[in-house]
Amino acid sequence: MATRKSAEKSNVSRDELLKYYRDMLLIRRFEEKAGQLYGMGMIGGFCHLYIGQEAVVVGLEAAAKEGDKRITSYRDHGHMLVAGMDPKGVMAELTGRIGGYSKGKGGSMHMFSREKHFYGGHGIVGAQVPLGTGLGFADKYKGNDNVTFVYFGDGAANQGQVYESYNMAELWNLPVIYVIENNQYAMGTSTKRATKSPNLWERGAAYGIKGEMVDGMDVMAVKAAAEKAVAVCRAGEGPYILEMMTYRYRGHSMSDPAKYRTREEVQKVRETRDAIEHVRELLIEGNLASDDDLKAIDKEIKAIVNEAADFSKESPEPDVSELWTDIYA
Protein backbone atom coordinates (compact mmCIF):
# COMPACT_ATOMS: atom_id res chain seq x y z
CA MET A 1 0.00 0.00 0.00
CA ALA A 2 2.80 2.38 0.79
CA THR A 3 4.44 2.22 -2.61
CA ARG A 4 2.59 3.48 -5.60
CA LYS A 5 2.06 1.55 -8.73
CA SER A 6 3.68 3.28 -11.65
CA ALA A 7 1.77 4.09 -14.79
CA GLU A 8 3.51 1.36 -16.77
CA LYS A 9 2.77 -1.31 -14.22
CA SER A 10 -0.93 -0.57 -14.17
CA ASN A 11 -0.87 -0.38 -17.92
CA VAL A 12 -2.71 2.83 -18.11
CA SER A 13 -3.03 4.80 -21.32
CA ARG A 14 -2.27 8.45 -21.84
CA ASP A 15 -5.94 9.27 -22.44
CA GLU A 16 -6.97 7.52 -19.31
CA LEU A 17 -4.38 9.35 -17.22
CA LEU A 18 -5.39 12.67 -18.70
CA LYS A 19 -9.01 11.96 -17.88
CA TYR A 20 -8.17 11.20 -14.24
CA TYR A 21 -6.10 14.34 -14.05
CA ARG A 22 -8.92 16.38 -15.44
CA ASP A 23 -11.62 14.89 -13.23
CA MET A 24 -9.59 15.23 -10.06
CA LEU A 25 -8.64 18.78 -10.90
CA LEU A 26 -12.27 19.65 -11.59
CA ILE A 27 -13.20 18.47 -8.11
CA ARG A 28 -10.38 20.37 -6.47
CA ARG A 29 -11.02 23.66 -8.23
CA PHE A 30 -14.75 23.33 -7.75
CA GLU A 31 -14.28 22.81 -4.01
CA GLU A 32 -11.87 25.71 -3.70
CA LYS A 33 -14.47 27.91 -5.34
CA ALA A 34 -17.19 26.58 -3.03
CA GLY A 35 -14.99 27.42 -0.04
CA GLN A 36 -14.56 30.92 -1.39
CA LEU A 37 -18.30 31.40 -1.92
CA TYR A 38 -18.94 30.14 1.61
CA GLY A 39 -16.59 32.75 3.00
CA MET A 40 -18.55 35.38 1.10
CA GLY A 41 -21.81 34.23 2.62
CA MET A 42 -23.16 32.97 -0.72
CA ILE A 43 -23.28 29.41 0.62
CA GLY A 44 -24.74 28.83 4.05
CA GLY A 45 -25.08 26.10 6.63
CA PHE A 46 -22.72 23.15 6.52
CA CYS A 47 -20.37 22.73 3.58
CA HIS A 48 -17.97 19.76 3.57
CA LEU A 49 -15.18 19.85 1.01
CA TYR A 50 -13.68 16.80 -0.71
CA ILE A 51 -10.23 18.29 -1.28
CA GLY A 52 -7.56 15.60 -0.83
CA GLN A 53 -9.85 12.64 -1.47
CA GLU A 54 -10.35 13.14 -5.22
CA ALA A 55 -8.65 9.90 -6.32
CA VAL A 56 -11.20 7.76 -4.50
CA VAL A 57 -14.27 8.70 -6.44
CA VAL A 58 -12.42 9.19 -9.72
CA GLY A 59 -10.85 5.70 -9.49
CA LEU A 60 -14.10 4.02 -8.58
CA GLU A 61 -16.12 5.71 -11.28
CA ALA A 62 -13.54 4.51 -13.79
CA ALA A 63 -14.89 1.00 -13.19
CA ALA A 64 -18.57 1.95 -13.46
CA LYS A 65 -20.91 1.46 -16.39
CA GLU A 66 -24.20 3.08 -17.30
CA GLY A 67 -26.89 1.92 -14.90
CA ASP A 68 -24.62 1.61 -11.87
CA LYS A 69 -25.74 3.62 -8.88
CA ARG A 70 -23.98 5.63 -6.25
CA ILE A 71 -24.88 7.04 -2.86
CA THR A 72 -22.80 8.90 -0.29
CA SER A 73 -22.76 11.23 2.70
CA TYR A 74 -22.87 15.03 2.95
CA ARG A 75 -19.28 15.17 1.57
CA ASP A 76 -20.78 14.71 -1.85
CA HIS A 77 -19.72 17.38 -4.34
CA GLY A 78 -16.94 15.30 -5.90
CA HIS A 79 -19.16 12.27 -6.33
CA MET A 80 -21.70 14.31 -8.23
CA LEU A 81 -19.19 15.92 -10.56
CA VAL A 82 -17.64 12.59 -11.53
CA ALA A 83 -21.04 10.97 -11.90
CA GLY A 84 -21.53 13.45 -14.74
CA MET A 85 -23.78 15.93 -13.00
CA ASP A 86 -23.53 19.49 -14.25
CA PRO A 87 -21.19 21.65 -12.13
CA LYS A 88 -23.58 24.56 -12.66
CA GLY A 89 -26.47 22.68 -11.08
CA VAL A 90 -24.32 21.51 -8.20
CA MET A 91 -22.96 24.97 -7.44
CA ALA A 92 -26.40 26.55 -7.73
CA GLU A 93 -27.69 24.09 -5.18
CA LEU A 94 -24.89 25.18 -2.87
CA THR A 95 -26.07 28.77 -3.17
CA GLY A 96 -29.70 27.74 -2.71
CA ARG A 97 -30.96 28.78 -6.15
CA ILE A 98 -33.68 27.42 -8.40
CA GLY A 99 -31.07 26.20 -10.89
CA GLY A 100 -29.69 23.78 -8.31
CA TYR A 101 -30.29 20.03 -8.52
CA SER A 102 -32.84 20.21 -5.70
CA LYS A 103 -34.25 23.61 -6.74
CA GLY A 104 -32.31 25.10 -3.84
CA LYS A 105 -34.26 23.13 -1.28
CA GLY A 106 -31.61 20.59 -0.30
CA GLY A 107 -28.29 22.44 -0.22
CA SER A 108 -24.77 21.05 -0.06
CA MET A 109 -25.63 17.91 1.87
CA HIS A 110 -28.78 16.85 0.10
CA MET A 111 -28.57 16.64 -3.68
CA PHE A 112 -29.77 13.96 -6.04
CA SER A 113 -29.91 13.09 -9.72
CA ARG A 114 -32.05 10.22 -10.79
CA GLU A 115 -30.78 10.63 -14.34
CA LYS A 116 -27.18 10.11 -13.27
CA HIS A 117 -28.14 7.45 -10.74
CA PHE A 118 -26.86 9.58 -7.88
CA TYR A 119 -29.00 8.89 -4.83
CA GLY A 120 -27.58 11.58 -2.48
CA GLY A 121 -26.22 13.41 -0.49
CA HIS A 122 -27.28 12.31 3.07
CA GLY A 123 -26.88 14.36 6.22
CA ILE A 124 -27.23 11.63 8.79
CA VAL A 125 -24.00 9.74 9.35
CA GLY A 126 -24.36 6.13 8.24
CA ALA A 127 -27.88 6.42 6.82
CA GLN A 128 -26.70 5.94 3.25
CA VAL A 129 -25.39 2.45 4.00
CA PRO A 130 -28.72 0.58 4.32
CA LEU A 131 -30.20 2.89 1.67
CA GLY A 132 -27.48 1.94 -0.79
CA THR A 133 -27.88 -1.70 0.16
CA GLY A 134 -31.52 -1.33 -0.85
CA LEU A 135 -30.57 0.09 -4.23
CA GLY A 136 -28.49 -3.03 -4.74
CA PHE A 137 -31.40 -5.16 -3.58
CA ALA A 138 -33.63 -3.60 -6.24
CA ASP A 139 -31.15 -4.37 -9.01
CA LYS A 140 -30.76 -7.95 -7.92
CA TYR A 141 -34.56 -8.26 -7.70
CA LYS A 142 -34.89 -7.01 -11.24
CA GLY A 143 -32.17 -9.37 -12.41
CA ASN A 144 -29.86 -6.85 -14.11
CA ASP A 145 -26.09 -6.64 -13.64
CA ASN A 146 -25.87 -3.14 -12.18
CA VAL A 147 -23.85 -2.50 -9.05
CA THR A 148 -24.23 0.17 -6.39
CA PHE A 149 -21.31 2.10 -4.90
CA VAL A 150 -22.04 2.95 -1.27
CA TYR A 151 -19.56 5.49 0.09
CA PHE A 152 -19.17 6.20 3.80
CA GLY A 153 -16.56 7.51 6.20
CA ASP A 154 -14.39 5.96 8.88
CA GLY A 155 -16.64 7.57 11.46
CA ALA A 156 -19.79 6.20 9.86
CA ALA A 157 -18.17 2.76 9.95
CA ASN A 158 -19.00 2.61 13.66
CA GLN A 159 -22.74 3.01 13.18
CA GLY A 160 -24.72 -0.12 13.89
CA GLN A 161 -26.77 0.09 10.71
CA VAL A 162 -23.60 -0.55 8.69
CA TYR A 163 -23.38 -4.04 10.20
CA GLU A 164 -27.06 -4.74 9.84
CA SER A 165 -26.57 -3.89 6.16
CA TYR A 166 -23.48 -6.08 5.82
CA ASN A 167 -25.35 -9.02 7.20
CA MET A 168 -28.25 -8.70 4.78
CA ALA A 169 -26.06 -7.88 1.80
CA GLU A 170 -24.00 -11.03 2.22
CA LEU A 171 -27.01 -13.14 3.16
CA TRP A 172 -28.68 -12.18 -0.13
CA ASN A 173 -25.52 -11.68 -2.21
CA LEU A 174 -26.39 -8.13 -3.13
CA PRO A 175 -24.36 -6.31 -5.82
CA VAL A 176 -23.09 -3.62 -3.49
CA ILE A 177 -19.59 -2.20 -3.18
CA TYR A 178 -19.06 -0.63 0.21
CA VAL A 179 -16.42 2.05 -0.15
CA ILE A 180 -15.06 3.19 3.20
CA GLU A 181 -13.42 6.57 2.67
CA ASN A 182 -11.00 6.36 5.56
CA ASN A 183 -9.68 9.91 5.78
CA GLN A 184 -8.56 9.15 9.31
CA TYR A 185 -10.86 11.60 11.04
CA ALA A 186 -14.51 11.85 11.89
CA MET A 187 -14.77 15.53 12.63
CA GLY A 188 -12.14 15.86 15.38
CA THR A 189 -11.97 12.17 16.29
CA SER A 190 -9.13 10.21 14.76
CA THR A 191 -9.86 6.57 13.94
CA LYS A 192 -7.53 5.58 16.76
CA ARG A 193 -9.78 7.32 19.24
CA ALA A 194 -12.93 5.73 17.82
CA THR A 195 -12.04 2.07 17.44
CA LYS A 196 -9.46 -0.54 18.37
CA SER A 197 -10.00 -2.55 15.23
CA PRO A 198 -7.59 -0.77 12.92
CA ASN A 199 -8.65 -2.30 9.62
CA LEU A 200 -12.20 -1.28 8.98
CA TRP A 201 -12.60 -3.48 5.88
CA GLU A 202 -11.81 -6.59 7.93
CA ARG A 203 -14.99 -6.19 9.91
CA GLY A 204 -16.85 -7.49 6.86
CA ALA A 205 -15.14 -10.85 7.35
CA ALA A 206 -17.39 -11.48 10.35
CA TYR A 207 -20.27 -11.58 7.87
CA GLY A 208 -18.34 -13.41 5.18
CA ILE A 209 -17.78 -10.35 2.98
CA LYS A 210 -14.65 -10.10 0.83
CA GLY A 211 -12.66 -6.92 0.91
CA GLU A 212 -9.33 -5.16 0.89
CA MET A 213 -7.46 -2.01 1.80
CA VAL A 214 -6.38 0.32 -1.00
CA ASP A 215 -4.17 3.40 -1.30
CA GLY A 216 -6.92 5.91 -1.88
CA MET A 217 -4.44 8.59 -2.91
CA ASP A 218 -3.40 6.55 -5.95
CA VAL A 219 -6.09 6.72 -8.61
CA MET A 220 -4.71 3.73 -10.52
CA ALA A 221 -4.69 1.56 -7.43
CA VAL A 222 -8.25 2.62 -6.73
CA LYS A 223 -9.30 1.81 -10.26
CA ALA A 224 -7.67 -1.61 -10.19
CA ALA A 225 -9.40 -2.50 -6.92
CA ALA A 226 -12.70 -1.13 -8.17
CA GLU A 227 -12.56 -3.32 -11.29
CA LYS A 228 -12.03 -6.39 -9.18
CA ALA A 229 -14.88 -5.54 -6.84
CA VAL A 230 -17.20 -4.70 -9.71
CA ALA A 231 -16.42 -8.02 -11.40
CA VAL A 232 -17.28 -9.92 -8.24
CA CYS A 233 -20.55 -8.07 -7.84
CA ARG A 234 -21.61 -8.36 -11.48
CA ALA A 235 -20.98 -12.07 -11.26
CA GLY A 236 -23.58 -12.28 -8.49
CA GLU A 237 -20.98 -12.85 -5.80
CA GLY A 238 -21.24 -9.54 -4.00
CA PRO A 239 -21.06 -7.62 -1.80
CA TYR A 240 -17.48 -6.33 -1.57
CA ILE A 241 -15.70 -3.91 0.78
CA LEU A 242 -12.97 -1.47 -0.28
CA GLU A 243 -11.30 0.54 2.43
CA MET A 244 -9.72 3.60 0.82
CA MET A 245 -6.88 5.11 2.81
CA THR A 246 -7.20 8.80 2.09
CA TYR A 247 -6.99 12.22 3.72
CA ARG A 248 -8.98 15.42 3.78
CA TYR A 249 -6.92 18.58 3.58
CA ARG A 250 -9.55 21.01 4.81
CA GLY A 251 -11.49 21.12 8.05
CA HIS A 252 -14.40 18.74 8.53
CA SER A 253 -16.77 21.46 7.42
CA MET A 254 -16.22 25.14 6.88
CA SER A 255 -16.73 25.80 10.61
CA ASP A 256 -14.13 23.34 11.93
CA PRO A 257 -11.23 24.99 13.76
CA ALA A 258 -9.24 21.76 13.16
CA LYS A 259 -7.21 21.85 16.35
CA TYR A 260 -7.01 18.06 16.51
CA ARG A 261 -4.18 17.73 13.99
CA THR A 262 -1.09 19.74 13.18
CA ARG A 263 -0.53 21.79 10.09
CA GLU A 264 2.62 19.77 9.55
CA GLU A 265 0.60 16.57 9.35
CA VAL A 266 -1.61 18.07 6.63
CA GLN A 267 1.34 19.60 4.86
CA LYS A 268 3.19 16.31 4.81
CA VAL A 269 0.33 14.49 3.10
CA ARG A 270 -0.09 17.30 0.60
CA GLU A 271 3.58 17.18 -0.26
CA THR A 272 4.13 13.44 -0.37
CA ARG A 273 0.81 11.79 -1.25
CA ASP A 274 -1.24 14.26 -3.25
CA ALA A 275 -3.25 12.35 -5.84
CA ILE A 276 -3.28 15.06 -8.46
CA GLU A 277 0.45 15.78 -8.19
CA HIS A 278 1.06 12.05 -8.55
CA VAL A 279 -0.77 11.84 -11.87
CA ARG A 280 0.84 15.07 -13.04
CA GLU A 281 4.26 13.56 -12.40
CA LEU A 282 3.37 10.38 -14.25
CA LEU A 283 2.21 12.38 -17.23
CA ILE A 284 5.24 14.62 -17.34
CA GLU A 285 7.89 12.06 -16.45
CA GLY A 286 6.42 9.47 -18.79
CA ASN A 287 6.51 12.08 -21.55
CA LEU A 288 2.78 11.58 -21.97
CA ALA A 289 1.95 15.24 -21.70
CA SER A 290 3.76 18.54 -21.73
CA ASP A 291 3.50 21.37 -19.26
CA ASP A 292 1.53 23.23 -21.88
CA ASP A 293 -0.93 20.37 -22.29
CA LEU A 294 -1.61 20.43 -18.56
CA LYS A 295 -1.85 24.20 -18.48
CA ALA A 296 -4.52 24.00 -21.15
CA ILE A 297 -6.47 21.57 -18.99
CA ASP A 298 -6.07 23.84 -15.96
CA LYS A 299 -7.46 26.69 -17.99
CA GLU A 300 -10.38 24.69 -19.27
CA ILE A 301 -11.26 23.57 -15.71
CA LYS A 302 -11.01 27.08 -14.41
CA ALA A 303 -13.48 28.21 -17.04
CA ILE A 304 -15.94 25.44 -16.14
CA VAL A 305 -15.74 26.32 -12.47
CA ASN A 306 -16.08 30.05 -13.06
CA GLU A 307 -19.06 29.41 -15.27
CA ALA A 308 -20.62 27.30 -12.51
CA ALA A 309 -19.96 30.03 -9.95
CA ASP A 310 -21.46 32.69 -12.19
CA PHE A 311 -24.51 30.54 -12.81
CA SER A 312 -24.88 29.93 -9.09
CA LYS A 313 -24.98 33.65 -8.45
CA GLU A 314 -27.26 34.54 -11.35
CA SER A 315 -29.78 31.78 -10.94
CA PRO A 316 -32.67 33.28 -8.95
CA GLU A 317 -33.79 32.15 -5.53
CA PRO A 318 -36.65 29.66 -5.76
CA ASP A 319 -40.08 31.20 -6.14
CA VAL A 320 -41.85 31.39 -2.80
CA SER A 321 -44.44 28.94 -4.09
CA GLU A 322 -41.69 26.29 -4.02
CA LEU A 323 -42.03 26.23 -0.24
CA TRP A 324 -45.15 24.12 -0.69
CA THR A 325 -44.16 21.87 -3.61
CA ASP A 326 -42.64 18.39 -3.56
CA ILE A 327 -43.87 17.51 -0.08
CA TYR A 328 -45.86 14.65 -1.55
CA ALA A 329 -45.34 12.90 -4.86
Partner 1 sequence: MATQILMPALSPTMEEGTLAKWLVKEGDEVKSGMIIAEIETDKATMEFEAVDEGTVGKILIAEGTEGVKVNTPIAVLVEEGESAEDVAAPAAPVAAAPAPAAAPVAAAPAPAALVAPAKPDWPEGTAMKSMTVREALREAMAEEMRANENVFLMGEEVGEYQGAYKISQGLLDEFGARRVIDTPITEMGFAGLAVGAAWGGLNPIVEFMTFNFAMQAIDHIINSAAKTNYMSGGQLPCPIVFRGPNGAAARVAAQHSQDYAAWYSQIPGLKVVMPYTAADAKGLLKAAIRDPNPVVFLENEILYGRTFDVPVLDDFIVPIGKARIARPGKDVTIVSFGIGMTYALEAAERLAKDGIDAEVIDLRTIRPMDTATIIESVKKTNRLVTVEEGFPQSSVGNFISATVMQQAFDWLDAPVINLCGKDVPMPYAANLEKLALVTTDEVVAAVKQVTYR
Ligand X SMILES: Cc1ncc(C[n+]2csc(CCOP(=O)(O)OP(=O)(O)O)c2C)c(N)n1
- Residues engaged in binding ligand X (CB under 6 A): 73, 75, 123-125, 153-156, 181, 183, 185-187, 252
For residues 186 and 229, which CB has a smaller minimum distance to Mg ion in the complex?
A: 186
Q: How far is the CB of 123 from partner 1 (least distance, A)?
A: 4
Cβ contacts of residue 329 below 8 Å, gap of 6+? none
Piece of 54-62, 91-99, 172-180, 301-309 that binds partner 1 (CB under 8 A):
91-99
Q: How far is the CB of 41 from partner 1 (least distance, A)?
A: 5
Piece of 21-29, 102-110, 220-228, 278-286 that binds partner 1 (CB under 8 A):
102-110
Residues between 249 and 268 with contacts to partner 1, criterion CB under 8 A: 254-255, 257-260, 263
Measured from the Cβ of residue 158, the count of other Cβ atoms closer than 10 Å reads 19
CA dihedral 27→31→32→38, nearest 10 degrees, is 170
| Nearest to 56, CA basis, from 27, 33, 35, 15 | 27
Residue pair 56/215 in contact by the 8 Å Cβ criterion: no
For residues 50 and 240, which CB has a smaller minimum distance to ligand X in the complex?
A: 50
- E strands in the chain: 69-71, 148-153, 176-182, 185-186, 189-190, 210-215, 240-245
The site map against partner 1 for 184-223 (x = CB under 8 A) is --xxxx---xxx----------------------------
Looking at residue 49, the DSSP 8-state letter turns out to be: -
| Distance, C-alpha 11 to centroid of its chain | 24
For residues 156 and 224, which CB has a smaller minimum distance to ligand X in the complex?
A: 156
Q: How far is the CB of 279 from partner 1 (least distance, A)?
A: 20
What is the Cα–Cα distance from 63 to 180, expressed in whole angstroms?
17
Piece of 58-66, 132-140, 147-155, 209-217 that binds Mg ion (CB under 5 A):
147-155
In this structure, the strands spanning 210-215 and 189-190 are unpaired
Phi, psi dihedral angles at 92 (to 5 degrees)? -70, -25
Under the binding rule (CB under 8 A), the answer on residue 112 touching partner 1 is: no
List interacting residues with partner 1 (CB under 8 A).
32, 35-36, 38-42, 44-46, 93, 95-97, 102-107, 109-110, 122-126, 155-156, 158-160, 186-189, 193-195, 254-255, 257-260, 263, 313, 317-318, 320, 322-324, 327
